[in-house]
Structure 1
């Protein structure tokens, strides 16, 4: 009777939460698991990392506390991973040099339908010794954080679906959870093969958006960052809002922390996207609201894998402060590649128009859009080329290499749970599915000629001040940052829709803003500080700040077509003088490739310019070098003159309103100074030497 009740509970759960998705095979599989007796496996050593978790003991029962969905349970975790990559032994659990992690965690059950299986999925948070404070640590080579997932590989007899999908997405240039196979022992019981992976959260090494606070309810602060998902609501919880029977749920901010203003704002962005899906102008068109490349890549991964959950479950979005709405990252792709555990992973069906489930209407709407399908097709045809991420040979090679890596653990997994009798057959089916799926999509995706050679404006990133040196007058380094962009063409350029494409620093040029021929404009970290420091107004202020170590700055048109890109580093061969030592990066010549380090030099010239006179005969400064009096003569009336020292400090600011001026420099210390002469329509800078 208990077996029947348990089985009924699981089937009821799956039908309620996954209608039209799970197949009869999955029901048979559940019956099999409920009637099976499981073997114990003694693990002694492995080529994979070994994770040992011991849950704290209940002093009343003298047994480990139960691991539940809520609250989390305290435990100790050790990860055995020899630094040299050699074999790992269980006997190394007390050998400190061989422990990748040795400390406290709090652990819980995670997942929905997978939580009902005998082999459980877990989430855990790394803690400091006080058992309260989160402990950001690097685990198995992944960037430091405190929230992690132990993926149990549920409903995936191939053991590779999630790992393959995440790798595909990362190779497209998008963030997807980093993964590492491992073998897990919980309270002395071998639990089998797992994938340790990153949990989706805001972090510069995960979803690189700013963390919105409860006080961020107005102006630019209200615009981000957000992480939102379409998914089932947790037990006892309600969705934040619903679009066409699809739940939308806050991830960042947490539902309990979201203010009314924040919920209304991000909900409004989705509504604005839907309302403008068939508008294409550069003021309100859909491409000014969403980051088109992220939606293209997100849909392509879900379509190639034929993800049964796509667009309705485990579907994430994110939006940075001042940035566009983006799709992703991908998550939970176990019901993919023709999985027999679902009725919905077809080889010859678009998932966005699958009758079983399609999610909100805007997914299918994008394919009916006038321009999106062209970019969708262009990207697909790029990705299936030789050596590219969606090429069948590349995918097959990754599958083979991955299976070789975990081959030793596969028999132990099957001995423990008995679910892999058809493992080899399933892998063969995945490869066959990919071959057929790639052919089907290629034949049905449509043309891309209209967007194959998009003309982009001649804009060049010419200066980067990513780690400015501070001073008493300017104590905040990030406020002094700037990005200089020059129009190298012969015509004025309309900047409508142009934006900084990569996460980390966000800016989209206002509608109908322009840049004149040969003009340089500046985007700054702080408008007021830029004005005080450099003597003129920056064009705009970007959100967040530039990285002090490395960042990829990509200038793109409204559809994401790259105009110019620079990925700088704070190490050689890049000029290291620009790393907090008082200089900034300056492109040697606009005709050079500005993504090559040798084409950049460091500059300490604190006098920037957006428009300046190039005719040196229009002004005379004498004598130079100067001891006491400096005479300035100009062919036109001078409005004002500013003098800066080599540290960028303003030494003198004089109103002139004449074509001649005499300056007394007798009190100046000996050295180099920069004099900027301002006119009604521009300015000119000259260097003088005081002796």
Structure 2
């Protein structure tokens, strides 16, 4: 379009001095828009401009107004580039813009350029539009000598593009505009021309931060919204759905990674800390460099997981949480701060100071002041009435560690967040989430930020929350906790080699993008306030930080507060967790609970002992004072008092709440004494016993000395469990006595299952139902259905198949409408109130009998009063089964040549001290189970005898496993 302006000797058309603005337009013709591969708009300008393509804004810089008046001036100066032998600005149009804006025939490029002042000594307007063709056959004009074909943004990092639609982003108010994210997945490259495949929609955006707003590389806060402006919860780059997000602007942090490193480490310690993703940001076609897309701190089940508090919640438990408050600059929060009794400046974050009610503010003020009163009180170290009763001590320890390893100059006095949940949720005074680490890891030349020596809490600018931690450090108990936590983390997450490897991983990922960022912001090799050092290369910045980290960790090792007791000690207390209810059936929901059992010979004082949620410390249970467990006694710790009391109204030996929910998928549970010494831990899995995973039963420990971290040490207990008492044989009046889940093809009766009434009176099944593992598969018994005393009833899936094999059987119902899985399944019975009454989980692989899986045999229940979910309770029935009747020994159907068939014989049976084995199979090992399915003896089959002298009298099952891993079960009786 040619250059217009005055003052710099770079203009073809000279305009009068003092010209405020110039408007230019150019018509150009396109024959076939389908041949346009890319469009780049280039602009050399002094001082601001807006460009339009066919009437739609495509680029803007340093000019406000929508549209601006002709006599508007720009907010700041911007010097032209070409006359200085520099490149002009580039704006790359997206594929969506190209398709939507260009037309076959005439197209119009229009540009308005404005000056910065009436008396300005220069003005420049030199626009260019470059069309990239899909075929290189035509050249229309010689390429200008100054033009260097720009390389389209092609990066490992996801690309975030924002189109402000002609508006200027300011601190407040937010503007509504468009955002798209390109993310082709791990290991794939992302190109600016790729379609938006992670997000493509509306946002509201503004500047955020305090000091960081003064940097030329601006920070942004934005919310994802729908087309009418309502908040829209979405997942960005794999992070959980929400609507409030941050685009962090690493500027003074030339490595880009200090915040990312801190958040990633903190999450690895088991705490919530904002999820983060490196991205490259493009606004209105201009590359802005490397940013970090991250979660904003707010209350949410996937962020700060505390209860929501609304303006109507001003009494009772609702008033006690959840709150997020902070120690920070008052930017944007001028009316929402106050000082505690110890002079710590507090601001409300959630609820905001404009939304919190006077009652809520009074409660929170009193709560924090009471915390300080207790902490500075005469009995501050007392576990019953001191600070430990109020504070989440683990959060204070990790908060101290994370701020000190990074020597974060803002770590105590600014950007410090604290939260508290409701009292009913065990809400404690909890430090975190962490925030703002750009001035850490040596990146500050004040507040002792550069040296790797010295505690930031004392030698830096520590104040605010450091007062609380400093007081806690006067308690040897807290010193012990902190010292042992440091030693633990130094072996794992905070091992120097692990941290440095993480830094290298970030560097390899961001390296290419770092050069583009440096070209824009000119940070490398230059002092950017308040750098602790200036390296001459980006890798030099990385190497300097790695050296600083190594020295810092070594210094803390040498100077950590000493403990006066060993770490990871065992308490010597004979208490175990011997029953776990981690996933109730909805019809018998007692909430999560666990049972503590004193198996020793002396009473145990568990006062102030702690039950921890594995390796996470957000919520933990502290047992109350005077929790004394007598020898042989049990106590239940429940998560939901109402749910537990509803199911077990007579259980009185209970305490709660547990303070955290047990995972349905399995988790680690840790029991420690009041001095943080280990008592017991278990890492259970939902796969151990499938009827305990939402199917009505509980996990029961076989014996206190069993290894709690393996499945063989646990069995499925009774329906609902046996909280507060020792396990005894379950009282189950209705059971499954025979299961046919896969018939032989030659004698296919379809799937069927046999129920048995163990009582001496008829049992009505009106309104009762059968279900497998899916609640969608339900069979309701017909009206009038009952089972005779000690009788049997068969429920079949296919009437034609069943009656073809059993034409005379009449104690049958069906069809049930679903089949039984040949891979194993849960089968359940519900009564006429919808309550789960019985469940069995069978399996088709060893140690369960395998011949019922298509071999023509059935699963037969051999212990009606035994453990119904133990493989030893079930044996191979007769060929074709014995539906509707008591099992009796199978009648032989042919003469068997034992020289060609596999067999195992044990004798004598009954036996007193020794069993003899006779078999033509190469046996490898054996396992003996009692009638409850508990393992009582194991061994190798090296001899033909098994010593059973140590067994009590009773019925047993012995399972043999051959050299190929096949299992076979045999029943025997031990008698003296």
Do they superpose with TM above 0.5? Answer: yes
Residues 147 and 434 of structure 1: CA distance in aligned 2, closer, same or farther (over 3 Å): same
CA distance in 2, matches of 1:459, 1:86: 53
- Where do residues 357-506 of structure 1 align in structure 2 (5 Å cutoff)? 357-360=462-465, 361-385=467-491, 388-421=492-525, 422=535, 423-456=538-571, 457-471=573-587, 477=589, 480-502=591-613
Tell me if structure 2 keeps the 8 A contact 1:606–1:646: no
Q: For structure 1, which runs of at least 5 residues remain unmatched after alignment?
A: 1-32, 58-62, 617-623, 630-644, 648-664, 676-685
Residues 198 and 595 of structure 1: CA distance in aligned 2, closer, same or farther (over 3 Å): farther
Q: How far off its partner does 1:118 sit?
A: 1.2
Counterpart check, 1:128 vs 2:226 = yes
CA distance in 2, matches of 1:327, 1:688: 47
Match of 1:407, SS state, is: helix
Q: How far off its partner does 1:483 sit?
A: 2.8
Match of 1:431, SS state, is: helix
Q: TM-score, normalised by structure 1?
A: 0.76
Residues 588 and 323 of structure 1: CA distance in aligned 2, closer, same or farther (over 3 Å): farther
C-alpha distance after superposition, 1:391-429 (max 9, x if no partner): 222222221221111010011001111112333333222
Residues 605 and 74 of structure 1: CA distance in aligned 2, closer, same or farther (over 3 Å): same
Residues 371 and 486 of structure 1: CA distance in aligned 2, closer, same or farther (over 3 Å): same
Residues 549 and 200 of structure 1: CA distance in aligned 2, closer, same or farther (over 3 Å): farther
Q: How far off its partner does 1:598 sit?
A: 5.5
Tell me if structure 2 keeps the 8 A contact 1:287–1:559: no
Match of 2:547, SS state, is: helix
Tell me if structure 1 keeps the 8 A contact 2:758–2:791: no
Counterpart check, 1:139 vs 2:236 = yes
Residues 131 and 445 of structure 1: CA distance in aligned 2, closer, same or farther (over 3 Å): same
Q: How far off its partner does 1:184 sit?
A: 0.7
Match of 1:408, SS state, is: helix
Alignment root-mean-square deviation, CA = 3.8
Residues 128 and 279 of structure 1: CA distance in aligned 2, closer, same or farther (over 3 Å): same
Residues 491 and 48 of structure 1: CA distance in aligned 2, closer, same or farther (over 3 Å): same
CA distance in 1, matches of 2:349, 2:676: 26
- Where do residues 196-595 of structure 1 align in structure 2 (5 Å cutoff)? 196-235=293-332, 237-243=334-340, 244-277=342-375, 279-320=380-421, 321-345=425-449, 346-354=451-459, 356-360=461-465, 361-385=467-491, 388-421=492-525, 422=535, 423-456=538-571, 457-471=573-587, 477=589, 480-502=591-613, 507-537=621-651, 539-542=654-657, 545-549=661-665, 552-558=668-674, 563-566=679-682, 573-595=687-709
Give the greater-gyration-radius structure (CA). 2
Q: Name the structure 1 match of 2:877.
A: none
Residues 303 and 601 of structure 1: CA distance in aligned 2, closer, same or farther (over 3 Å): same
Residues 537 and 670 of structure 1: CA distance in aligned 2, closer, same or farther (over 3 Å): farther
Q: Name the structure 2 match of 1:70.
A: 172
Residues 354 and 427 of structure 1: CA distance in aligned 2, closer, same or farther (over 3 Å): same
Q: Between Structure 1 and Structure 2, how many residues are aligned? A: 590
C-alpha distance after superposition, 1:53-109 (max 9, x if no partner): 122x3xxxxx2x222333332222211111363111111125xxxx12222222221
Tell me if structure 1 keeps the 8 A contact 2:396–2:469: no
Match of 2:650, SS state, is: coil
Q: TM-score, normalised by structure 2?
A: 0.55
Match of 2:414, SS state, is: coil
Greater displacement, 348-357 / 295-304: 348-357
Q: Name the structure 1 match of 2:722.
A: 608
C-alpha distance after superposition, 1:294-352 (max 9, x if no partner): 21111011111100001111112222332332222211111111214544313222111
Q: Name the structure 1 match of 2:162.
A: 53
Tell me if structure 2 keeps the 8 A contact 1:232–1:247: no
Q: For structure 2, which runs of at least 5 residues remain unmatched after alignment?
A: 1-76, 91-149, 526-534, 731-756, 763-767, 771-786, 794-828, 838-864, 869-885, 887-976
Tell me if structure 2 keeps the 8 A contact 1:323–1:506: no
Residues 494 and 66 of structure 1: CA distance in aligned 2, closer, same or farther (over 3 Å): farther
Q: How far off its partner does 1:614 sit?
A: 7.6
Tell me if structure 2 keeps the 8 A contact 1:534–1:606: no
Tell me if structure 1 keeps the 8 A contact 2:448–2:460: no
Greater displacement, 320-329 / 413-422: 320-329
